[in-house]
Amino acid sequence: MLFISRPPEQAMNYETIYAFMLATAALAVSPGPDNIYVLTQSMVNGKKYGLATVGGLMAGCLVHTTLLAFGVSALIKASDTLFFGIKLFGALYLFYLAYQIFRTKGEVQLQKDNAPCRSLRQLFKQGFIMNVLNPKVTIFFLAFFPGFLYSDSLSTVIQFYVLGLLFIIVSTVIFSAIALLSGTISGYLAQNKQTGIVLKWLQVTVFLGIAIYLLISDK
């Protein structure tokens, strides 16, 4: 009887993946420069222009994912101490972000009159450039992703790309919904001033939760 050897199964922690997607969704819903920009462009130029902006922003995220995947993966292979240092830095940075948001008033500012009209191509390009050249996105990816590596056997490069694609997919769905529902959302925000406070504390909670998770999680 012949026995055919099979490659070992890739042990994956799906709970970690689900937690990552949930945290991504909460961050995408919370008011920030990107989703406010999408909302503003959709209100001024129309829904398809908002979707073009979303496309540019998410294309930029793919660049950051690539830099993260190859850069941090090399550090992980080089030293456990370096990887712990990355996670510690990430946790401290997320604590800092939570503190910065805590200090704000929680008001959602929509500067509709100041948003210039642009073509679909221009908005895609601007969204892409805004994202790629924003060092805060690089730092945030470095702080956010390493704690959600979900497999002991799968390549870290592949894992970072999977997390990056999940981040892009979840964010695209939510940002696109913001663009398509821009009129309804802006009207609701104008009538319900307390919504900004709720979203503020949601963001603070998510950042603190991710920071604590990074500190207690294993490699």
Inform me whether the pLDDT recorded for 5 exceeds 50. Answer: no
Sorted by where each begins, the domain ranges of the chain are 44-106+119-216
Sign of the C-alpha dihedral computed for residues 20, 148, 171 and 90 taken in this order: positive
Q: Which residues, in sequence order, are CB contacts of 188 under 8 Å at separation 6+?
A: 195
pLDDT per residue as tens digits for the range 35-93: 888 988 888 788 899 999 999 999 999 999 998 999 887 777 777 787 788 888 888 99
For residues 31 and 174, the answer to whether their CB atoms sit within 8 Å is no
Torsion angle of the four alpha carbons 154, 155, 159, 160, in this order, in degrees rounded to the nearest 10: 170
pTM to 2 decimal places: 0.82
pLDDT per residue as tens digits for the range 136-187: 888 899 889 988 999 988 999 999 999 999 999 999 999 999 999 887 887 7
